[in-house]
Amino acid sequence: METVIVRVTEQDVKQGKRWKCGSCPLALALRRTLGYAVKVAVDSNIILIKHLNTYWICNNTPSLIRNFIYRFDTGYEVSYILKLPIKLKFNNLGADLPVYCHMLAGSLK
């Protein structure tokens, strides 16, 4: 299991796109934090990262993130998250992708 600590910046919020799991502020922050070519999909249940043919997944998206996603997508204020480091734990799935991830993974292509 790998732990990633992410900080969402004001610029991530400004550049983020509502209702786009690969372009939300958290996805932008994850790509910036990881520092290499990854594809990221974030929703209220899981966070999925793909690099080449390897996938990492964070199951059970923390409630802080679920609340942030809802507020961002619906146009509410989200600046409170800029003060908090977000600690996410990812399981390395290798090249195997569980069935329940397939729809979210479709946005990684």
Domain locations in the chain? 2-108
C-alpha to C-alpha distance for 16 and 91, rounded to whole angstroms: 25
Q: How many CA atoms lie within 13 A of 53 on its CB side?
A: 2
Category of 33 on φ-ψ map: left (φ > 0), alpha (ψ -120 to 50) or beta: alpha
Considering the entire predicted model, what is its pTM? 0.78
**pLDDT 10s digits, 5-64:** 888 888 999 999 999 888 889 888 888 888 767 788 887 777 888 877 777 888 778 888
- Is the per-residue pLDDT at 83 higher than 60? yes
